[in-house]
Amino acid sequence: MADHGAFIAAPCTDRARLPEVLAVVHAAFDHLQPPSSVMRETLADFEARLRAGTVIVAQADGKIIGSLFAVRDGDALYLTRVATLPAWRRRGVGAALLTAAEQVARQADATRLTLRVRVELPDNRRYFESASFVVTGEGQDPGRPRYLAMERTLTA
């Protein structure tokens, strides 16, 4: 668990908190253009995400203010749906979620954090580059926007 004063970021195993996570993620991704596919995801989708991996949440006064999902992918921990509530942005919540993900990765002997950002969202690329991720490739799934693959190698 990482205590950042005003908030704490740590894995959450309580599936009863998933409706709150869904609301936070939808609020965080609401403004993106073109709209993110996460806006069509439901509680059932998030329950499947939790069965497949881990959800890390940042909480302030017991309320979820940010979250990400992490799933093991070979030697990597793959991160998706990184989200901070708009009212909590630029206070290190995203960085704290990434630090907590790094702890989960180390405990699982993963050597990298990986994620994808949409090519059409250069701000997201810049954000993760400033968080020590580097672009490792580019791709596109059928019917989906082009993405950049990014990773942060975990040092010993």
Ligand X SMILES: CC(C)(COP(=O)(O)OP(=O)(O)OC[C@H]1O[C@@H](n2cnc3c(N)ncnc32)[C@H](O)[C@@H]1OP(=O)(O)O)[C@@H](O)C(=O)NCCC(=O)NCCS
Give contact residues for ligand X (rule: CB under 6 A): 28-29, 82-84, 89-95, 115, 117, 123-124, 126-127
The vertex-50 CA angle with 71 and 18, nearest 5°, equals 135
Structure tokens at 48: 């499947």
For residues 104 and 70, the answer to whether their CB atoms sit within 8 Å is yes
Provide, rounded to whole angstroms, the least separation between the CB of residue 95 and ligand X: 3
For the CB of residue 43, give the shortest distance to ligand X in the complex, in Å: 19
Distances in Å between the Cα of 109 and the Cα atoms of 15, 74, 115, 153 are 25, 10, 18, 12
Q: Of 88 and 109, which CB lies nearer to ligand X in the complex structure?
A: 88
Shorter beta-carbon distance to ligand X: residue 137 or 156? 137
Report the Cα 88 to chain-centroid distance in Å: 15
Look-up of token digits 């954000």: 127
CB 100 to ligand X: min, Å: 12
Q: 56 or 83: whose CB is closer to ligand X?
A: 83
Which residue number is nearest to ligand X in terms of Cβ?
A: 94
Please report how close the Cβ of residue 147 comes to ligand X at its closest, in angstroms.
10
